[in-house]
Amino acid sequence: MDKDITSPFFSIVIPTYNRALLIGKTIDSILQQQYANYEIIVVDDGSNDNTEEILKKYSATNFTYVKKENGERAAARNYGTKLAKGKYINWFDSDDIMFPNHITEARKMIRKYNEVEIFALGFQVQNNNGTIVQRSTYSLPTINKIMYRGNHLACNPVFVRRDIALQNLFNEDRALTVSEDFELWLRMAARFPIYCTNTITSALIIHNERSMITMNTEEKLIPRFEKVNQLVIDDKRVAQFLGTKKELFLAINYMLLSSTLAIAGYKKQAINFSFKAIGLSKLVLFKKTFFVTVWYLSPFKRSHLKN
C-alpha cells in the first residue's frame, strides 16, 4: 500500500440514507485502496434503519460518521464537503463499489494535469450478481464538448479540488434530486476543463432501491427535468458554454423526460414533452430516446401504459 504522506490527501464523502444492507460493502471496498492517504466521511442523511449500528465497527482514525436531518443527497454531499480536509474530494455513493486502484489513478491524473480543478475516471455499471451492464469511458481527453448530449458522468468517478468544490456546491433544491450531479457538472464544465481517463476504478451497482429507479413518478420526473432546463437558461455562464447547442441540449433533456415518462406509463405527458422537444430541435428525431418513446407509446406496448 502506498503510504507516501507527501502526496495529496483525499476526502471520500459518502452521503447515505437507509443503506444499512449495502454501505458496509462500500466502506470495505474503500478500505482496500492501494493508496493510504485519505479520509472517509459518511454523512447519514437522517436514516431510520440501523445504518449507525452497522458503521460502529469502523473506528479507524481516517473514518468519520455524522448524522443530520434529512435534506436529500445534495445537502448531505455539501455537508461532507464542508467537513473535508482533503486536497481533493470524491463524492461516492453508499451502494457502490470502489476498486483498489481508484485513488491511485486519481493521483496520476493530478500529477499529469498539474493539480487540475476537476477530472473523471472510468467506471462501470453492474447488477447485484456482478454482471457488467455497461462500461463508461470517454472518447476525448476532456468531456466538455459532449456535455450537451446528456450526463456522461456519475459522482463516483469525479474528483474536485476542495477549494473549487467549496465554491461550487451542489444545488440543494429537492426538485432537482437525481439530477443534482448533472447540474453541477454543467456548471463546472462551463468554467473548467473536465479531464478524463478510461481506466475503470469503480462500479455503480444496479438495485431496486436506487433513486433513479424509485423516483420515477410523474410528480417527481417532470419538475426534475424542467428544473435542469430552467437552471441552464438562467445561468449565463452555462448558457454561453452551450452556445448554439443550447436549444439542442434542452430538446435532448425533454426527449429523455418523454422516454422516461413513456416507460413509466404516462402516455399523455410523454407525448406532450416529445412535441416540446421536437419544437426546440428536430435533431432529437434521430435520438435513441425518441425511438424508445415511440415504442412505448405504440399499440404493442399499450397494455403496460397508465392512463
DSSP state string for 139-164: SSSBSGGGGGG-----STTEEEEHHH
In a domain, 2, yes or no: no
Question: What DSSP element (H or E) covers 200?
Answer: strand 195-206
The last residue of a domain, from among 165, 187, 209: 209
Q: What is the pLDDT of residue 306?
A: 47
Decide which of 174, 209, 244 is a domain's last residue: 209
> CATH number for the domain including 67?
3.90.550.10
Residue-level pLDDT at 305: 44
Which pLDDT does position 301 carry in this prediction? 58
Q: Are residues 257 and 204 in the same domain?
A: no
What mean pLDDT value characterizes the chain?
Answer: 91
The reply to whether 276 and 191 lie within a common domain is no
At 62-79, the pLDDT tens digits run 899 999 999 899 999 999
Which of 87-91, 102-106, 129-133, 162-166 bottoms out in mean pLDDT, i.e. has the lowest? 129-133
Calpha distance 146→144 (Å, rounded): 6
Residues 59, 128, single domain; the answer is: yes
List the Cα angle 214/220/226 in 5-degree steps.
135
> What pLDDT sits at residue 61?
74
Has residue 196 been placed in a domain? yes
Q: Which residue has 442523511 as its cell numbers? A: 45
C-alpha Rg value of the chain to the nearest Å: 20
Residues 70 and 136 in one domain: yes
- 78 and 170 in a single domain? The answer is yes
Write a three-state SS string for 249-306: HHHHHHHHHHHHHHHHCEHHHHHHHHHHHHHHCHHHHHCHHHHHHHHHHCCCCHHHCE
Among 179, 209, 239, the domain-final residue is 209
**Grid coordinates belonging to 260:** 422516461
Residue 3: inside a domain: no
- Helix (H) / strand (E) element for 234: namely helix 218-234
Find, among 98, 86, 81, 55, the residue nearest to 168 by Cα.
81
Residue 116, in any domain of the structure? yes
Query: 192 with 286, same domain?
Result: no
pLDDT digits (tens, 9 = 90+) for 234-292: 999 999 999 999 999 999 999 999 999 999 889 999 999 999 999 999 999 999 999 99
Contacts of 18 (CB under 8 A, 6+ apart): 47, 48, 49, 51
Taking each helix axis from N to C end, the angle separating 246-264 and 288-297, rounded to the nearest 10 degrees, works out to 30
Q: Structural domain of residue 272, as residue ranges? A: 216-304
Query: What's the number of domains the chain is made of?
Result: 2
Alpha-carbon gap, residue 253 to 271, rounded angstroms: 14
Where are the alpha helices (H) located in 40-161, listed in sequence order?
51-55, 72-83, 102-112
What's the rounded mean pLDDT across residues 1-15?
A: 77
Answer yes or no: are the C-beta atoms of 41 and 80 closer than 8 Å.
Answer: yes
Between 298 and 10, residue with greater pLDDT = 10
223 pLDDT above the threshold of 90: yes
- Residues 270 and 262: their CA atoms lie apart, in Å, by 5
Residues 33 and 157 in one domain: yes
Cα end-to-end distance, the chain, whole Å: 57
Residues 126 and 243 in one domain: no
pLDDT at 86: 97
Residue 130's pLDDT is what?
A: 86
CA distance 151 to 290: 17
86: nearest Cα among 8, 188, 201, 164: 8
d(CA 23, CA 17): 10
Tell me, yes or no, whether 84 and 23 share the same domain. Answer: yes
Pairing of strands 38-44, 10-16: parallel
pLDDT tier at 97, thresholds 50, 70, 90 = very high
